[in-house]
Amino acid sequence: MSILSGKKVIIIGDRDGIPGPAIEECAKTAGAEVVFSSTECFV
Amino acid sequence: MNSVIKGAGYVLVHAPDMVLHAGTTQTTEKIVNPDSEYLKELPNHIRSYEDVVAYMPNQTYIGNMTPEELAEHEQPWVGKNMENAQRYGKFGEIMPQDEFLVLMQVCDVFELVYLDKEFVSATKDKLAADPVIGEDIMAKVAEGIDGAEIKRLVDEEHAEPLYHMGNLVGCVKRAHDVDVNLSAHVMFENIACKASSVLALLHAVKAAGIDKADVEYVIDCAEEACGDMNQRGGGNFAKAAAEVAGLVNASGSDLRGFCAAPAHAMIEAASLVKAGSYKTVIVTAGGCTAKLGMNGKDHVKKGLPAIEDVLGGFAVVISANDGVNPEINLDMLGRHCVGTGSAPQNVIGSLVAAPLAKGGLKITDVDKYSPEMQNPDITKPAGAGDVPLANYKMIGALAVKNGELDKKELASFPAKHGLVGWAPTQGHIPSGAPYIGFAREDILAGKINRAMIIGKGSLFLGRMTNLFDGVSFTIQPNSGAQAEEGVSEEKVKGLIAKAMKEFAETLMADADAE
């Protein structure tokens, strides 16, 4: 059982790191419910 | 023949009062939390012009220090001033705020920028002493108006105040009563962007050693938009800046794509020149007042100066192949497509590995990569990490994944194929572009053989798409000159062989005759 299984997840990705959609795919595979996902630019 | 990079100009403008009054972090705070400790504390963290000039990343930006020399100094660099730092460098200059305000007035052709006449009188000779500021520009400096009238325009006519050292020295009037696109604040942002682009253009022309009349086209790749309520981004910064810079034979257009725009513009310029549409094109960009002090809260919290205190600008001259200068290779362009996806390996794959594969090259065949070149002094205290280093780690990791680099060499990949970041967080300014001037010099000097410029853009900030964007191109030595040398050598060999053959035939003929 994944630690994310059945959990609601808020994702903030980084343009120069791991973008939101990529984290989203991983989180979904781990059984999470993605309630918000966004990629931000910090520069 | 590929087009070549003939020269580049890089300029910074010290803008301490604009940090306080125009940076969006500060203007937002004034609205939502006007009595905040941050707003009270920030003025104590503003750097002097002398400190800004002596700041090593700034000296690197204008070419007085190489990225390699900067890397020899331990980070953080803030507080470790360079001795004998100069305002002018081989690529450009660091202009003080007072002179820049006069340059903004010169760049206003709609009687919107008004300066205090005493301020103009005290500043204009300083601006005139700038080697790239000619009499044509100084002739446009207005005498100025009374300080009381400036105060009235700010208090009663919605004008945007212009401060220097805390004093009200001028204002920008609104260009329309109702249209928000022509408001005083938007006009201020746009004229500041235009003026810093003009300064970059002037330095690029000087650095490239070309005549202003040679420039046929200018592409502006900054991030502001000029237009009115009927066409918000109508343009055209490029032609407007070219006019002030005296590029009389130039037309131009604006290209936008957030931070990826400079790389897009370079590819477009190189293509226009290679196609023969224009012989000389300049890619230019002015700075962004909104981003001044963007990470100021973190800098102040950590007791640092507000390091984001400069506007940035750059301009690159691209011209027809002269047989000498480094070429832009248009056969190996990287492109993040709509269908590429956002996983880091897809992004780096599309921008780095895929274009190199087109040329039969490996990731390790590129000597230096220039992706996002943000100064880590700015980003690390704000929690955004070392952005160039993060990019190099991803490029190196992809090289390992592709079997082109031994995993043991991954740790040394950033130092070998990368650079430390030295650019201010001015959006499009750090995106690949800061290294173009050094890349040209390093290739000409034979220090490196190939550089890749990578531009990445956060399209999602415009709320039109969730997509990210990016393009890349490589710079290489001038193949025309090499080819000519090769052909020349071959030709000499051929001539000798032909002469020897003819001589031998003559001898044989003589022998037969005997």
CATH number, position B329: 3.40.47
- Tens-digit pLDDT profile for residues A1-43: 689 999 999 999 888 888 888 899 999 999 999 999 988 887 8
Instruction: Copy the structure tokens of residue B488.
Output: 């020349």
Domain positions in chain A are 8-40
Kindly identify which residue of chain B lies nearest to residue A23, measuring between CA atoms.
B343
Chain A residues with beta carbon closer than 8 angstroms to that of B382: 42
DSSP state of B230: T
Please tell me whether residues B468 and B488 are part of one structural domain. Answer: no
Please tell me whether residues B455 and B503 are part of one structural domain. Answer: no
Rounded Cα distance, B213 and B279, in Å: 12
B305 touches chain A (CB under 8 A): no
B391 touches chain A (CB under 8 A): yes
Asked if B342 and A21 come within 8 Å (Cβ–Cβ), the reply is: yes
Instruction: Name which of A15, A26, A28, A36 to mutate to probe chain B: the one with the most chain B Cβ atoms within 10 A of its Cβ.
Output: A15
Please tell me whether residues B473 and B485 are part of one structural domain. Answer: no
How much is the pLDDT for A40? 83
Please tell me whether residues B58 and B160 are part of one structural domain. Answer: yes
Please give, one letter per residue, the 3-state secondary structure of B387-451.
HHHHHHHHHHHHHHHCCCCCHHHCCCHHHHHCCCCCECCCCCCCECHHHHHHHHHHHHCCCCCCE
Please tell me whether residues B503 and B460 are part of one structural domain. Answer: no
Asked if A43 and B425 come within 8 Å (Cβ–Cβ), the reply is: yes
- Nearest-neighbour CA in chain A from B416: distance (Å): 20
Sign of the four-CA dihedral B68, B72, B78, B84: negative
B385 touches chain A (CB under 8 A): yes
Please tell me whether residues B499 and B369 are part of one structural domain. Answer: no
Instruction: Copy the structure tokens of residue B325.
Output: 């200068």
How much is the pLDDT for B238? 98
- What is chain B's pLDDT, residue by residue, as a tens digit (514 residues)? 999 999 999 999 999 999 999 999 999 999 999 999 999 999 999 999 999 999 999 999 999 999 999 999 999 999 999 999 999 999 999 999 999 999 999 999 999 999 999 999 999 999 999 999 999 999 999 999 999 999 999 999 999 999 999 999 999 999 999 999 999 999 999 999 999 999 999 999 999 999 999 999 999 999 999 999 999 999 999 999 999 999 999 999 999 999 999 999 999 999 999 999 999 999 999 999 999 999 999 999 999 999 999 999 999 999 999 999 999 999 999 999 999 988 888 999 999 999 999 999 999 999 999 999 999 999 999 999 999 999 999 999 999 999 999 999 999 999 999 999 999 999 999 999 999 999 999 999 999 999 999 999 999 899 999 888 999 999 999 997 544 444 555 555 666 776 777 777 767 776 666 5
Asked if B384 and A43 come within 8 Å (Cβ–Cβ), the reply is: yes
Where helices occur in B209-317 by DSSP H, the ranges are 237-245, 261-275, 296-301
How much is the pLDDT for B483? 44
Tokens 């340059």 sit on residue: B103
Distances from the Cα of B498 to the Cα of B483, B491, B505, B507, B511, angstroms: 22, 10, 10, 14, 20
Kindly identify which residue of chain B lies nearest to residue A13, measuring between CA atoms.
B342
Please tell me whether residues B276 and B382 are part of one structural domain. Answer: yes
Asked if A19 and B383 come within 8 Å (Cβ–Cβ), the reply is: no
Please tell me whether residues B301 and B173 are part of one structural domain. Answer: yes
Give the structural domain span for B314.
4-477
- Nearest-neighbour CA in chain B from A7: distance (Å): 23
Chain B residues with beta carbon closer than 8 angstroms to that of A40: 458
Please tell me whether residues B372 and B423 are part of one structural domain. Answer: yes
Chain B residues with beta carbon closer than 8 angstroms to that of A25: 343
Please tell me whether residues B262 and B385 are part of one structural domain. Answer: yes
How much is the pLDDT for B489? 59
Task: Count residue pairs from A and B with Cβ separation < 8 A.
Answer: 53
In this prediction the pTM is 0.92
Instruction: Name which of B292, B458, B464, B467 to mutate to probe chain A: the one with the most chain A Cβ atoms within 10 A of its Cβ.
Output: B458
Please tell me whether residues B446 and B497 are part of one structural domain. Answer: no
Chain B residues with beta carbon closer than 8 angstroms to that of A42: 379, 382-384
Asked if A17 and B385 come within 8 Å (Cβ–Cβ), the reply is: yes
The 3-state DSSP class for residue B149 equals: helix
- Nearest-neighbour CA in chain A from B474: distance (Å): 21
- Total domain count for chain B? 2
Please check whether residue B64 is in contact with residue B85, taking contact to mean a CB–CB distance below 8 angstroms: yes
Chain B residues with beta carbon closer than 8 angstroms to that of A21: 341-342, 466
From the list B466, B471, B355, B432, the residue with the least C-alpha distance to A15 is B466
Please tell me whether residues B195 and B309 are part of one structural domain. Answer: yes
From the list B353, B350, B394, B357, the residue with the least C-alpha distance to B372 is B394
Kindly identify which residue of chain B lies nearest to residue A20, measuring between CA atoms.
B342
Please check whether residue B366 is in contact with residue B356, taking contact to mean a CB–CB distance below 8 angstroms: yes
Tokens 């938007």 sit on residue: B186
Chain A residues with beta carbon closer than 8 angstroms to that of B461: 41
